[in-house]
A and B are shown apart, each in its own frame.
Chain A
Amino acid sequence: MRQDGCQELAVRIRSHALQMTHRARSSHVGSCLSIADLLAVLYQRILRVNPNQPEWEERDRFLLSKGHAAAALYAVLAERGFFPSEWLETYCQDGARLAGHITHHGVPGVEVSTGSLGHGLAMGCGMALAAKCDSKAFRVFVLLSDGECDEGSTWEAALFAPHHRLDNLAAIVDYNRIQSFGSVKDVLDLDPLAEKWKAFGWGVREINGHDLEEIEASLRSAPFKPGQPSCVIAHTVKGRGVSFMEHKLAWHYQSPNAKQLQQALAELGEQQ
């Protein structure tokens, strides 16, 4: 494993997300833990972004379409220096900037605000299309939840991108198999998910969404085929990294109390 601090960054994202949701008594910690490794790799190894110049025109665009995992994105942005870490303490507080669903307003580094599912991929298509029209080299990454693959609008965008050969666009699906009110299998089964994206015309790779090297390798090799947008189906575990949160629907809603926070942070400490 490379010693570039990526592993540590993933742990710090998890640690922040736990503390933020504990402090704010807010939901979605399980969804944050599930994408911590994806975010760490994106922001440590993949995205060409500049914290000192968040509006830099040539930057890669990252869109968190599963806006409920906001705490994890704020955490990685703070870690990368887009804004002071102290801001994280204001998450969901009265009058603060950091809302419980990802919000761009006044927050450097956040490309778009989401929270209602099924919005990110279309906006990502627009940015990728703009890059093509202007012959710009930046790439667009959109991180979706599995639950939002229920949304028709996701598939409208999924039809659009291959038709317009947006190979500068990559969708990453956080396939942790637990959606808002049950398991994906029980609520609205997505399998075979890879085949669906393939049938829509995307280049598809399935990876272990917690293996940093696999994540990096897949994102680095996008586009998998020239002229095709890429879809990375990241098999993940909801609540990953905290034993008592893993695979549990309850942690879509619950926030850790003081004791649970202590135990969770202790477990993370062992992972450092």
Chain B
Amino acid sequence: MRNAFIRSLTELARRDPRIFLLVGDLGYSVVEPFRDEFPERFVNVGVAEQNMTGLAAGLALSGKIVFTYSIANFPTLRCLEQVRNDVCYHRANVKIVAVGGGLAYGALGITHHGTEDVAILRALPGMTVVAPADPMEAALATRAIAAWPGPCYLRLGKAGEPSIHAAPPDFRIGRPIELRQGEDAVILASGPMTRNALLAAEKLSGAGISVGLYSVHTVKPLDEEFIRQLARQVPFLFVVEEHSVIGGLGSAIAEVVAEISGTRPLLKRLALPDSFHPVGSQEFLCSTYLSAEALFTRIHATLSRVAAKELRALA
């Protein structure tokens, strides 16, 4: 995903001289194509994220479109107040890019786990939050946020994520992309775990359960009307994300669903628990919660429980 991002950004920079890239001394073997082609619009600011973010605001207030880039929590939580005051309050055209959202840095430890970022960033006024599902979405999201006025947060996976889309989808900020149709339940997913959701949906289909799937790449602004319409159509909504169960896409959707009057679908958040995580690879750490198998099991169990209850009620 990070390579798709940098390719997309480099292409954009060829057309738009306002585009700058600031990195916090990270990006080895990733950002070099941009650096080498646009040395005058690339700054490695050093290990100084607060300065990077303030600097980005200052550049943006002078007419630039500024991307900041670092790992997981470094361009977000480390300098959160600069993001809030310098970027958001000034509506500065700054695009914050974090690589390794979720548990992508696995065994490197909890400092490198970005598991609360969406909750925190989406709470900031004026911040747009985008978490693409695969490299193609990452490339399109890069283009979209560059053209989208004001502060944006782009949450990327790391590298080597499999493609979900065979061809470029119609990617628009705020509009979910349909990946599968289904009538029994719908999964709303963000980020690279969308791939596991897709595999789980296919397996559920094999078990006779028809499950739809959307890539809800934009967590904020959330397409609330889409959620309300969907809630009228299906009895079950599952939200899948590589993020704490607190405050992310699942919470954002729950906020909308909870305010629907009348019949509501049952909503389940399939996310990471509210905890720090042990040592292990992304695959290992996600195996309990977000692997295709885990998602299949959790969704299947929920549907079975409800079905059993309904049968009991009929009897």
Chain A residues proximal to chain B, CB less than 8 Å: 104-105, 111-116, 118-119, 121-131, 133-134, 152-153, 156-157, 159-160, 164
Contact = CB atoms under 8 A, between A and B. Distances in A.
B20 to A, nearest CB: 8
A133 B62 CA distance: 11
Interface in B82-126: 82, 85-86, 89-90
Given A112-B57, A119-B82, A134-B62, 14 more contacts: A113-B89, A113-B90, A116-B85, A119-B85, A122-B86, A123-B61, A126-B56, A127-B62, A128-B58, A129-B59, A156-B48, A157-B54, A160-B51, A164-B43
A122 B64 contact: no
B162 interface: no
29 contacts: A104-B90, A111-B61, A113-B89, A121-B54, A122-B50, A122-B57, A122-B58, A123-B58, A123-B61, A123-B86, A124-B58, A126-B54, A126-B55, A126-B57, A126-B61, A126-B66, A127-B58, A127-B59, A127-B61, A130-B64, A153-B51, A153-B54, A156-B48, A156-B51, A157-B51, A159-B48, A159-B51, A160-B48, A160-B51
A256 B105 CA distance: 56
- Max chain B CB contacts within 10 Å: which of A105, A134, A157? A157
B50 A118 contact: yes
B41 interface: yes
Nearest to A124: B58
A249 B48 CA distance: 33
Instruction: Determine the interface band of chain B, counting residues with CB < 8 A from chain A.
Output: 20 to 34
A133 B48 contact: no
B22 to A, nearest CB: 9
A157 B56 CA distance: 12
B85 A122 contact: no
A169 to B, nearest CB: 10
Contact of A160 (B53, B55, B82, B86): B55
A74 B77 CA distance: 32
A201 to B, nearest CB: 14
B26 to A, nearest CB: 16
Contacts, number: 90
Contacts of A130: 58-59, 62-64
Given A152-B50, A160-B48, A112 B90 contact: yes
B55 A133 contact: no
B81 A116 contact: yes
Interface of A is mostly: helix
B283 to A, nearest CB: 36
A129 B55 contact: yes
A26 to B, nearest CB: 20
B273 interface: no
A56 to B, nearest CB: 13
Given A112-B61, A126-B58, A156 B81 contact: no
Contact of B60 (A113, A119, A126): A126
B62 A126 contact: yes
B278 interface: no
A122 B58 CA distance: 7
B170 interface: no
B41 A133 contact: yes
Nearest to A151: B50
Contacts of B64: 130
A113 B35 CA distance: 31
A228 to B, nearest CB: 18
Contacts of A116: 81, 85
B13 to A, nearest CB: 13
- Max chain A CB contacts within 10 Å: which of B40, B66, B90? B90
